[in-house]
Amino acid sequence: MTRQIHIESEQEVGRITDLIHDQYLDIEGLEFDKEHSSLTLRYFIAKGEFFVRLEFPTRECFLTIFNVASYTLRDTQQIRYYPMNKLLFVRSRNVVEVKTGIPLELSVSVTRFAISVEETDKIVDEPPPLCEA
């Protein structure tokens, strides 16, 4: 059963952090939809209680940020999978930031705050293929 949460209040950003903390962002699964002004990030559910790690098979999930004006991605580590720590909203700049355990800059400028998380039942047996440049 797919579970979806949608928030439009920055005071609820902690609900999203609770869902994504220690889950693995797939940098290859980033998709900007210009027509709908949304940025969707694919992530995978990690395994383990004390030492979380990404293992396949695992479940595929999506974090979508709406009302996107622009975004910045600086991937200096080039490792593809990043353990997410939290989501921040910087009101003074109208920016959503995805904070990870390994250095990655992902900041999203928005015109209005709105985010959803979709936890799917889709099981991914092996890492998806790399996108071709």
Residue 12: which pLDDT band, with cuts at 50, 70 and 90? very high
- Tokens representing residue 2 in the block: 């797919």
Amino acid at 124: V
List, in sequence order, the alpha helices (H) in the chain: 13-20
Tens of pLDDT, residue by residue over 94-124, are 999 999 999 999 999 999 999 999 999 898 8
Largest CA distance in the chain: 42
**Residue 130 pLDDT:** 64
pTM of the model: 0.90
3-state secondary structure of 45: coil
pLDDT digit string (tens) for 22-41? Answer: 899 999 999 999 999 999 99
Instruction: Provide CB contacts within 8 A for 12, sequence distance 6+.
Output: none
